[in-house]
Structure 1
Amino acid sequence: MAEENIVPANTGNIESVDIDSQMRTAYLDYAMSVIVARALPDARDGLKPVHRRILFAMHELGMRSNSAYKKSARIVGEVLGKYHPHGDSAVYESMARMAQDFSMRYLLVDGQGNFGSVDGDSPAAMRYTEARLQKMAEEMLADREKDTVDFGPNFDDSLEEPLVLPARLPNLLLNGSSGIAVGMATNIPPQNLRELVGAINYLIDNYDTIDDITVDDLMKFVLGPDFPTGGMIVGTEGIHSAYGTGRGRIVMRGIAHIEETKAGRYQINITEIPYQVNKSTLIERIAELVRDDKIDQISDLRDESDQRGMSIIIELKRAAQPKKVLNQLYKYTALQSTFGVQMLSLVDGEPRTLTLKRMLQIFIEHRQTVITRRSKFELAKAQARLHILDGYLTALNSIDAIIKVIREAEDADTAKANLMKRFKLSELQAQAILDMQLRRLAALERWKIEEEHKQVRAIIENLEDLLAHPKKILALIQSDLNELAEKFGDERRTQISAEAKEDIHDEDLVADEAVLISLTERGYIKRVAATAFKSQSRGGRGVMGHTTKDEDEVVMLIPARSLNTMLFFSDKGKVYSEKIYQIPDSDRATKGIPLVNVLSLEPNEKVTAAMAVGEFSARNYCMMMTARGKIKRVTMEEFASVRPSGLIAMSLEEGDHLGWVRQTSGKDEIIIVTENGQALRFSEDKVRSMGRQAAGVQGIRLAKDDSVTSMDVVEKDGALLVVTTRGFGKQTPLKDYSAKGRATSGISTIDQKALPEVGKIAAARVVQNADDLTIMTSNGVTLRMKVKDVKQSGRATKGVHLIKPNEGDSVASVARTSAEDLKKVGAQLSESTEKEEAQPKLV
C-alpha cells in the first residue's frame, strides 16, 4: 500500500495577527518575566531568585557555616545545572556580592579568597575562590524541611526548588536590594538588625491597633538606613519620606577628620565613604580637581588604607582652611552622594511600592505562616508518633495475649490482621508491634516508652495551644527575633546628623577670614585679605594699596570678615546689601571693579557709608548719621532682606547726605566727631528706634563752618583715635570724654589752634590697644600699624605724625582691625603674605 502524505489541516492558511497587539503581548510577557523571575526581590525573604537558588543549592550541598569551604565553581555549577538557566557570571557575581562586607550589611556567604574590594576590584575567578554559608544564612533556611514554604518545579521539571525561604530575619530591610526591571527599579537601603527588631516588637505589642501606628512611631526605633561602609546621613527629611511613602532621597556623606600635623599644617583624614562609592574613583576625582585648580589648597593626596581600616590622607597647604576644603570635597566629589530610595518588591507575585510599616507587616505575616505550617507539620508528626506509642503501650499491657496471637498466626499478615481485630489497633500500630524488638519488653524500655508518650502528648498539647492562639505565634516571633538580635546584632555604623546642611552653598566654600573692603570716590570697590599689608612703624610712608584713576580718591576702608553681609548706604538715604565674599577679591595694588557691577545704584547715586554685619537680629540696632548732624536708630532686622533695587534707610533733608553707620546693642553710647575737632558722647537710648523711612533727630549741634566727620560706638577701656588730613594722629582715653546731652555741641578733641598745621580731622575711630589700624590716603597709599604704637595724648593736643602723605595727597580714611579678628585669622598680621607653595604631589 502506498504511503500517504499526511498534511496538517491548517497548512497553507495564513493567520492575520495585529502587530500592535502582538508586540504588546510579547513585551508584557518579557517584562513580567524580568520583574518576577530576575530583577525584583520577594517582600517576604528579601531575595531575588538567583540569591535564593544560591543559598538553597549551598545548603543542599551541605556547605554549612561549620563545614569546609568548597570551590565557588562547584557552587556556580550546581546552581546553573539545577536551578538557574542563565550565565555563570550572573550567578558568581551575585554570590560574590553576598560575601562582600562593603556591599552587604549582614553577610550571607562566607567567602575565602579575593571577592573584590571597595576600590572596584573584581572578584578573582571562581576557580580560585571558595565559599560556604554564613550562620545568618542558615537562619534564612531554617525549618525549610518542615513544609514551611511552597516548592515549585525547576526549569526542566526534574527537581523542585523553594519559591520563598522561611527567613527568620527581615532580610529585605536588613541587607536592602537594588535592581532594574522593565519600566521600574528597586533601591532599598540596608538597616540595622537591632533597630528593626525593636520596631517589629513594637508592632507586635500593638498588633490590635496596628492601623494607628505611624511612621514617626516606628522611627523611634528605626533611626534610618545603616550602610555597611558607615558614613553619615545628612538630615532626616529624606528618611521620613522613604519610610512613609516608599520613596525618598537620602544624602550620604563620608566621615572626615581634620588633624593637625607635626609641621603645624592641617590634613583631612577620610575614614569612611558613602555606600556604593568607589574609593579609587573618589581619589582620582580629587586629584583631577587639584590639577584643574578647582581645589587649590591641597598639597598632597595619598591612600593609607590597610587592614585596620580606610584612611585617605589629604594634606593641605600652610594657609589653607580645612573646613573650606572639606566643603569643596562634599560639593564636587562623591564624598557626598545621594541614595534614591525606591522600596519596590514583589507582593503575591506583583510589584508593589511599600512603606517601612508595610514591609515589617509582610515579614510578620510571613513568619506567622511559616510558624503555623511548621507547627502543623510537627503536630502531625507528633500525633503519628503518639499513635505508635499508644500501640506499644497496648502491647505491653497485654504482652502475653499479644505473643499468643502472633504465635498462633500462620504468617505475618494474618498476625497483623488478628492484632488489629482483637486489640482494635490500626494497621500502623499492628505493624509497629510486629516490628518491635524483644528487648523493648524489658522494664527499663517500658519506662522509656511511657516517658516518651508523656513528652509527645505534652508537645501535642503545646502545638495545639499555639495554633489555637495567634497571639502566642506573635510572641514566638518576638522571641525568635530577640534571640537573633542578641546573636547577630551590632551597633549602628552610619551616623545621622539632623543639624548638617544637605546643600553646600557658596558661603560654605568660602574661607572665613579677615578682609578689608575699600571704596573710592569714583565708585571702585575691592576686597583684599587683611594679611596683604605688611605692618610698618609709625611715621612710615606706607605701601601702594590701591591703584586709582586720575583724581579718584579712596573714601572708605572697612574691616570685615568674608562671610559677613555688607550693607551699603547711599547719599540718597537708601541701603543696598551684598555678601562680602561676592565682592571680587583683588591684589592690594589693583583698583578693583566699578561698584555699579555689584549694586543696582541709580544715576548720580553714591555710596557714602557701609557696614559689615554678621547677624541680623531685632536685639541689635543700626545707628545712622548725616553730615549735618542728624541721627537715627533702626533695628537690624529691618535690613535682613534687602531687595536688589535697595530700600529706603533714612529720609534726608535737602542738601544733607547720609555719611556714617554703626551697629549697636541698644545699651551702647555714641561718640560723634566733627572736622573742626568737636566730640560729643551720649547714650544711644537718647535716640528712639524709628521706622526705615523716618528722618531722624538732631545728634550734634554744629558750628556754621563745621560738619560731622565720624561717628562710632564707645567701648569699655577704649580710646578715641583721631587722624587728620595731613597724617597727624593720637589716641585719647574715652574716659576723658564725659557724656553730654543729645543735640549739644560737645567738647574739644584736638588742639583746634593747630588745625592749619595738622589739617582738619579726616577720621576718628574708637580703638583698643591690641587692635591694628589701616590708614589710606586719597591716592591709595596704605599704612598698617599697631594701635599701641600710637601715642596717647590729652584731648587738647595735636598728636604726632602717623603717616607722611606725599605732596598733594591727604588721609582719606582709617580702618580698624579688631583683636578678635586678629585671633580668628589665626596668624600675626605683621607677617608678609606667604609665597605660593609648591604644586601638590598627587599619589
Structure 2
Amino acid sequence: MAKNIDNEFMQNQDNVILKPLEEVMHKSILPYAEYVIMERALPRVEDGLKPVQRRILYTMYELGLTPDKPHRKSARIVGDTLGKYHPHGDASVYEAMVRMAQDFNMRALLIDGHGNFGSIDGDTAAAMRYTEARLTPLAMEMLRDIDKDTVKFSLNFDDTLKEPDMLPGRFPNLLVNGASGIAVGMATNIPTHNLGEAIDAVIAQMENPDISLDELLKIMPGPDFPTGGIIIGQDEIRKAYETGHGKFYLRAKVEIENAPGGKKLLVIKELPYQVNKAALLEKILRLSEEKKGVLSGIADIRDESDRQGIRAVIELKKDADAEKVLNYLYKYSDLQVTFGVNMVVIADGKPQQLGLKAIIDYYIRHQKDVVTRRTRFELDRAKARQHILEGLMVAIQHIDEVIAIIRSSDTPSKAKQRLMDRFNFTDEQAQAILDMRLQKLTGLEISSLKKEYEELIRQIKKLKSILSSEKELIKVIKQELLEIKEKYADPRRTVIIEDVKEAEIRAEDLVYVEDAVITLSHNKYIKRVPAKSYSRSSRDVESVETGDGDYIEFVVESATDHKVLIFTDAGNCYTLACSDIPEGKWRDRGVPLHTLVSSIEDGEKPVAVLSLREFTEDCYIQFYTAMGMIKRTPLIEYDAKKTKIQACGLSDSDRVVAAELTRGDRDVMIITRQGMSIRFHGDEVPVVGRTAKGVKAIRLREDDEVIFGCEVDDEGEMVVVTDRGFVKRTLLADYQPQGRGGVGFRTIRFARSKSNGSHLVAAFYVKDPYEIILQQKDGTVSRVSTESIAITERDGAGELAVLVLMDNEVCAAYRNYKG
C-alpha cells in the first residue's frame, strides 16, 4: 500500500506545491486562527454574544418575531441567518439557536422556543422543521434602539446587506448569560450571574469608578447558575474576578429525607451547571456496583423529576450512613464538579482576559456610547421636526395667502418655489406645507401643532443636557437599567458558602468525619480506635495485646479529618492522615508504624503524637532535648505535604525527649535524670525556625540529661519514679520559678547508699488522679495510684512503691489509661 502511494506521488510531482512552513503559517494557519478567535468562538465584551448568536437575534428581529407575534418555524430562521449573514452549516446555527432557548443553559433566555428544545438529561432538540421560535422580551432589550444609529454596522459576507458589529445590549448579557467556547490556542468559560445583581454592580461602578472589588462582591457575590446548586470557594471567586482566571467547586443541592422502614433518601433537587442528570445517575449506579465499601449502602436509584422540577432519589439501605455516602458521591461523581473560570473576550478588537471590574468598565463605556448615539439621533430627528413645525405654523398664520399662491401656481414645483421666495421657507418646510392635509386647518389640529412644538422644545433641551453632561448621561443609563431589573430580575438560585472550611474538607479529603483515638505503643505499633468503641472499652493497658515488654505510650484524641504528626527523638516529624491509620479495637495490637511511614528508622523513638485539624498561626511546637535545649517554632511550618520533614535541629549526640503544642503563655517545667528540676515562664523561650536548635533551658551536670519537659499550670503535682521503685509526689507550688538556663533545684534527694535509687526513670505532671504502671526488667508489672502517694517536700527522698530485688530495677513507668 505504501509503495503504491509513493509511486503515485512520484507520478504527480508536478502537481505538488512546495512552500516554506513559515509562509504557510503566515498565509493560511494564522488567518484561520484569527478568524476562529474573532468570528466564531469568543464573545464581544460589549454584548456578550458570539457572531452566530448576534446574527440569529438580528435575523429574528428583521423577521418581526417579537414576543407579541406568533412563533415562526426554526428552519425559516436558520435559513435566513445562513442566507443573509452566516454562511456556515445549518447544524451549527440551529445548535446556537437551541442553546439560547434552553432554560438549563441560559440564566436569562433570549429565544422563546416552542417544541422540543432538549432537556437536562442530554436529549437533543427536535429537528428544525418541527420546532418554532420567537424573541423573548429580554432579547428585545438586547436589540432595543438598534434602529436609532446606536451601533456600527458592517457589510455582510457578500457585501449585499449590512449587519450590526454588536447589539445595543441594554443589560450586561456577558455577565448574565456567560459564555463558553474553544478557539485556536485559547478558550473562554464565563459563568452566568443574576440579572438584578449584575445590574446593581454596573450601576455601582458607574457611580463610583474607583469602587473596590470587595465592594462589588458585596453587591454581586458570585455566579448564579440557571440550575442552582451550591458554590464552595469564596476566595477562588474573588481571584477569578480579580484576574479573569480561577476555579471553584460547584455542588448539587442534596437533601436527606426519611423513608419508611428507617431508611434514608438522598434527594437531588438541584444540579451543578451543565451536568447531565441521566449520565450522573448512571454513573452513581455504576459506582454503587463497583464500590464494595460505603457505596454498597445504595439500595436503589430512581428519577422522579417532573414539570415541577428536578427530583432524583438515591435510596439507601437501613444501616447505611447517609452523610458518609453523600461525601463519597461528592468526590467520585458529578454531584460536585470544578468550574474553571476563564474570562477571555474580544475587547478593543483583540482577545483579552479580563477581570470583573474591566468587563463592567467596557460595558459602561458601550452603554455610554449607545445612549449618546441614540440621543444624537433623537436630537437630530427632533430638530428636523421642529424645523417642519416652524414652517407649518408660519403657513397657518398666513393660510389665505398660502392657499392663493398654491392655487395660482401651474405645478407643485412652482408652488414650492413661490412659497420659499415669499416666506423664506426651506425646501423641507415648503414640501411639508404642500403635503399638509386640509384637516390640519381645523382649530383642534392647530392647537395640537402648538403643543407638539412646545413638547419638542422641552425634548430638545433635555437631549442637549444629556449630551452636555456626563452626570445626566449616567442618570439615563441607570434609570433604564433599573427598569429592566424591575421587570425581569428574579431571586438568586445558586447558594454561595462563605465559610468554606468544613465544606472544603469534606470535598477534598473524602473522609467521613468520625471522632477517634490514636494509640502508639513503645515498640511503634499504631492503631485508630473509633471514639464510640474507645468509650465502651475498659481501656486497661493489660487488656491490650501489646506483646513482649511493649505498652501503650501515647493515646491522642483525633478525628478522621485530622492530620497526625509524630515527632521522634531524631528530630524528625512524620505526617499521616488520621483516616489512613488502620482502624482497630482497644485490645488490638495495631500495625507497625513503618508500614505507614516507610522512611522511619528502626532506632527512632517517637516522643510526641499530635492530632490537628488545622494549622493555626498563633500556636507553636515546643521541643525539649536531652542536652537541656528548648526550642519553639510556629505550628504553620509543620503543615507540609511531605511525609517526613526535619522538625528540630540537634547537636551531635543530642536527642529530643519531648514535644508539645503550645501558645507560649504558660510556665515550663523540666526534670533531669539525676533529679534536678527547673521552672521558668514560657515568654523566655524565643520563636525560631523549624531547623533551628533552640536555646539552653537548663545547665546540666556531668552525666546528666533531661528526661521530662512540659508546660504546667499553677495547680497540680509532680510525680517522679526512681529505678529502685521509689515514688515522690510534690505540689507544683513548691517549684519556685527562676530564670531560663540555670542549674535548677533538686526534685528528689538520693541517699548516699542509693537505697532509694540512683536516677529517675520517669516524671509525670498530674492534675487529676490516675494509675502509673511500673515495669521491671524481669517483666514484673506493678500499679500505683497517684492518689496513694503521699505529698512531700520538693527535695524529699520519696517512698517505696514497689519492691525491687537484687539487680532488678524499674526500667519503665507509664500511665494506665483506664478510667
| Bin of the TM-score, shorter chain as denominator length | 0.7 to 0.9
Q: Do the aligned residues in 1 keep the contact of 2:118 with 2:124 (CA within 8 Å)? A: yes
Residue 498 (structure 1) shift: 4.3
Q: Which residue pairs with 1:344 in the alignment?
A: 344
How far does residue 342 in structure 1 lie from its aligned partner after superposition? 2.5
Superposed displacement of residue 669, structure 1: 1.0
The residue correspondences of 1:35-50 to structure 2 (distance < 5 A) are 35-50=37-52
> Which secondary structure state, in structure 1, belongs to the residue aligned with residue 482 of structure 2?
helix
Equivalent-residue separation in structure 1 for 2:265 and 2:593 (angstroms): 38
| TM superposition score normalised by structure 1 | 0.74
- 1:189, 1:225 within 8 Å by CA — same for their partners in 2? yes
- Structure 1 CA distance for aligned equivalents of residues 325 and 247 of structure 2: 25
Moved more, 588-597 or 108-117: 588-597
CA gap of 1:408–1:525, structure 2 versus 1, over 3 A, is closer
In 2: Cα distance, 1:569 partner to 1:357 partner: 49
Q: CA deviation at 1:47?
A: 0.8
Quote the residue 1:493 is aligned against: 493
Q: Secondary structure at the match of 2:341?
A: strand
Contact in 2 for aligned 1:617/1:635 (Cα 8 Å): no
Of 578, 591, 594, 1:593 maps to 591
Shift in alpha-carbon separation, 1:638–1:317, aligned structure 2, 3 A: farther
Structure 2 CA distance for aligned equivalents of residues 272 and 14 of structure 1: 58
Question: Counterpart of 1:85 in 2: which secondary structure?
Answer: coil
Q: Is the 8 A contact 2:554 2:609 kept in 1?
A: no
Q: CA deviation at 1:581?
A: 1.6
Matching residue of 1:234: 232
- How many Å separate the matches in 2 of 1:29 and 1:596? 61
DSSP-derived class of the 2:517 partner: strand
Aligned match of 1:682: 731
Q: 1:697 to 1:286 in 2, by over 3 A?
A: farther
Unaligned 5+ runs, structure 2: 1-13, 614-618, 620-660
- Alpha-carbon distance in structure 1 between the residues aligned to 2:322 and 2:793: 50
Instruction: Find 1:293's aligned residue among 291, 294, 318.
Output: 291
Corresponding residue for 1:711?
Answer: 764
Instruction: Report the alpha carbon displacement of residue 329 of structure 1 after superposing the two structures with TM.
Output: 4.1
- 1:133 is aligned, of 132, 135, 140, to 135
The 10-residue stretch of structure 1 (407-416 or 296-305) with the greater mean CA deviation from structure 2: 296-305
Alignment of 1:522-671 (within 5 A): 522-529=523-530, 531=532, 545-546=544-545, 548=547, 551-556=548-553, 558=555, 560-562=557-559, 578-579=575-576, 581=578, 584-588=581-585, 591-597=589-595, 598=597, 604=603, 606-607=605-606, 616-618=661-663, 619=665, 666-670=713-717
Residues 269-284 of structure 1: pairs in structure 2 closer than 5 A: 269-284=267-282
1:385 and 2:434 equivalent?
no
Q: 2:177 aligns with which of 175, 178, 195?
A: 175
How far apart are the structure 2 equivalents of 1:713 and 1:242? 53
Distance 1:489 1:762, change over 3 A: farther
Instruction: Letter of the 1:361 partner, please give it.
Output: D
- The answer to whether residue 462 in structure 2 is matched with residue 462 in structure 1 is yes
Deviates more, 1:196-205 or 1:736-745: 736-745
Contact 2:327/2:507, CA 8 A, preserved across alignment: no
Q: Which moved more, 1:384-393 or 1:588-597?
A: 588-597
For residues 785-827 of structure 1, what are the alpha-carbon distances to aligned partners after superposition, in whole Å with 9 as ceiling and x for unaligned?
xxxxxxxxxxxxxxxxxxxxxxxxxxx973246xxxxxxxxxx
Deviation at 1:165, TM superposition (A): 1.0
Matched residue SS, 1:100: coil
* Alpha-carbon separation, structure 1, partners of 2:148 and 2:611: 76
Q: Which runs of 5+ in 1 are unaligned?
A: 1-11, 765-811, 818-843
**1:102 matched residue in structure 2:** 104
After TM superposition, give the deviation of residue 21 of structure 1 in Å: 1.4
Rounded to whole Å, the distance in 2 between the matches of 1:345 and 1:247 is 12
What corresponds to 2:637 in structure 1? Answer: none
Change (3 A) 1:320 1:678: farther
User: Shift of residue 146 of structure 1?
Assistant: 1.6
- Is the Cα contact below 8 Å between 1:368 and 1:474 reproduced in 2? yes
Q: 1:672 to 1:114 in 2, by over 3 A?
A: farther
Please say if residues 188 and 344 of structure 2, whose CA atoms lie closer than 8 Å, have aligned partners that are also in contact: yes
- Report the AA paired with residue 794 of structure 2: R
Q: 1:240 to 1:694 in 2, by over 3 A?
A: farther
SS of 1:509's equivalent?
A: coil
Which residue identity is paired with 1:125?
A: A
Out of 664-673 and 477-486, give the one that drifted further. 664-673
Question: Which residue number corresponds to residue 249 of structure 1?
Answer: 247
Q: Is the partner of 2:466 in helix, strand or coil?
A: helix
- Of the structure 1 ranges 395-404 and 675-684, higher mean CA displacement relative to structure 2 is found in 675-684
Partner SS for 1:485: helix
Using the TM superposition, give the Cα deviation of residue 485 of structure 1 relative to its aligned residue in structure 2, in angstroms: 2.0
Shift of 1:217: 4.9
| Residues in 1 aligned to 2:157 and 2:497: alpha-carbon distance in whole angstroms | 49
CA 1:126–1:329: 2 relative to 1, 3 Å: same
Three-state SS of the structure 2 residue aligned to 1:110 is strand
**Cα deviations by residue, 1:283-342 (Å, 9 ceiling, x for unpaired):** 444444444438625612635544444455556677776666555444444444333332
- Structure 1 residue corresponding to 2:794, chosen from 725, 739, 742: 742
- Measure, in 2, the Cα distance between the counterparts of 1:695 and 1:264: 67
Name the CA distance, whole Å, in 2 between partners of 1:308 and 1:654: 84
Give matches, 1:503-522, under 5 Å: 509=511, 511-519=513-521, 522=523
Q: Matched residues in 2 for 1:66 and 1:673: separation?
A: 93
1:475 match: secondary structure? helix
Q: Which amino acid aligns with 1:529?
A: P
Q: Give the structure 1 partner of residue 719 of structure 2.
A: 672
Query: In the TM superposition, what is the alpha-carbon distance from 1:530 to its structure 2 partner?
Result: 5.3
The 10-residue stretch of structure 1 (43-52 or 31-40) with the greater mean CA deviation from structure 2:
31-40
Task: Give the whole-Å Cα distance in 1 for the aligned partners of 2:564 and 2:736.
Answer: 24
1:180 shift after superposition: 1.3
C-alpha distance 635-567 of structure 1, shift in aligned 2 (>3 A)? farther
TM-score, normalization: structure 2? Answer: 0.76
Tell whether the 8 Å contact from 1:298 to 1:315 is kept in structure 2 after alignment: no
Equivalent-residue separation in structure 2 for 1:642 and 1:684 (angstroms):
33
Q: Is the 8 A contact 1:672 1:700 kept in 2?
A: no
Please state if 1:428 is matched with 2:428: yes
Mapped to 2, the partners of 1:40 and 1:561 lie a distance apart of 51
Counterpart for residue 645 of structure 2: none
- Closer, same or farther in 2 for the Cα pair 1:512/1:667, shift >3 Å? farther
Aligned equivalent of 2:74: 72
SS in 2 for 1:120: coil
- Per-residue CA deviation, residues 545-592 of structure 1 (Å, 9 max, x unaligned), is 5374xx45435462532456667677x696855447276315447643
Structure 1 SS opposite 2:297: strand
Q: How far 1:474 moved relative to its partner?
A: 2.2
**Quick one: structure 1 residues 277 and 628, their matched pair in 2 at CA, closer, same or farther if it must change by over 3 Å?**
farther
Deviation at 1:683, TM superposition (A): 2.8
1:679–1:685 Cα change, 3 Å: closer
1:478–1:294 Cα change, 3 Å:
farther
Equivalenced residues, count: 737
Structure 1 window deviating more from structure 2 (368-377 vs 294-303): it is: 294-303
Q: Aligned partner of 1:488: which letter?
A: Y
The structural deviation recorded for 1:681 is 4.7
- Tell me by how many angstroms 1:744 deviates: 3.6
Secondary structure of 1:401's aligned partner: helix
Contact 1:180 1:186 in 2 (8 A): yes
What is residue 222 of structure 2 aligned with on the other side? 224
- Cα deviation per residue 1:655-677 (whole Å; 9 max; x = unaligned)? 8888778x766344135275958
Aligned-partner residue type, residue 526 of structure 1: K
Give yes or no for contact 1:246–1:356 (8 Å, CA) kept in 2.
yes
2: CA distance, partners of 1:52 / 1:38: 11
CA gap 1:672/1:582 in 2 versus in 1, 3 angstroms: farther
Identify the residue that residue 788 of structure 1 maps to in structure 2: none
Is residue 233 of structure 2 the alignment partner of residue 186 of structure 1?
no
**Cα gap change, 1:696 to 1:225, in 2 (>3 Å):** farther
Per the TM alignment, residue 46 of structure 1 is displaced from its structure 2 partner at its CA by: 1.1
Change in 2 beyond 3 A, CA 1:346/1:536:
closer
Residues in 2 aligned to 1:467 and 1:460: alpha-carbon distance in whole angstroms = 11
